Structure 1
Amino acid sequence: MKPFSSLAMFTALCILAAPAFAADPAPALSGCAAKRQDISTQIDQAKAAGNTSQQAGLEKALSEVTANCTDAALLKEQEQKVFEAKREVSRRQADLSKAMSKGDPEKIDKRKDKLAQSRKELQDAQTELEKVQPDQDDE
């Protein structure tokens, strides 16, 4: 019975140790590399679905991104979107304050809804900015 228990122990250790030997997952892509990867994934999906016109459009987009995309330009573009979204939130907050001072409940509700939408757009823009920013760990 001893050989059986040794074999069982060895098997259990191998199973438990397997995750330790697994390769580290690939680092998340950012910037233009992430954009190219996203488009490539969409191309694969279009191929699988047999959508040749979508595939052709995506292949054109991929070639344009490959030729023209720079991480610096992408970062600047996303920073501009965040800036504009912040400005829109400020404007919507001012509109809400004005409506509240007038006391019109219908306008207040409408302004609150618009402010909430602007805040969501700002959050989305900030999330996208985080995706294109270079890793801060390297500094």
Structure 2
Amino acid sequence: MTLRPSWLFILPIIAFSTATFAAPTTGGCAAKQQDIQQQIDYAKKHGSSHRVAGLETALREVVNNCTDAGLEADRQKRIAEKQQEVAERKQELAEAKETGKSDKIANKQEKLDEAEQELKEASAQ
């Protein structure tokens, strides 16, 4: 697959928009709306009509369906899931330590470290 110049322009926008939807910079529905509006303005400025149409649809969805309470509930659910994962990884590490196999212990420790990092990120959002 050869990247045409238009793809070189669109790829950074896609990457930016994915990060924006995943974690709005200031939090809450108003922040999501503001972030999407900024992306719309940027896409309009650069003549990306398909991107504008998609972002306008996303903006309507946020305006019509987003609530700060709903966002907080989603955040708390993600945190609880990550806490459960950390607990499971700790149990797996304890079991690996019982075997005494250093490669298995290292593997389980790495997975625990990743789960703890994901929990930290979920809590920070």
Q: Same fold (TM over 0.5)?
A: yes
TM-align CA RMSD: 1.7
Give matches, 1:10-49, under 5 Å: 29-49=26-46
2:88 is the alignment partner of 1:91: yes
Q: Percent identity?
A: 42
Deviations 1:82-120, CA, capped at 9 Å, x for gaps = 111111111111111111111111111111111111111
Q: 2:116 aligns with which of 119, 132, 136?
A: 119
2:68 is the alignment partner of 1:71: yes
Cα shift at 1:59: 1.4
More contact order relative to length (CA 8 Å, sep ≥ 6): 1
Q: Which runs of 4+ in 1 moved over 6 A?
A: none
Whole-Å separation in 2 of the counterparts to 1:125 and 1:29:
15
For normalisation by structure 2, the TM-score amounts to: 0.72
Instruction: Output the amino acid matched with 1:46.
Output: A
Q: For the pair shown, which has the larger CA radius of gyration, 1 or 2?
A: 1
Cα shift at 1:29: 4.6
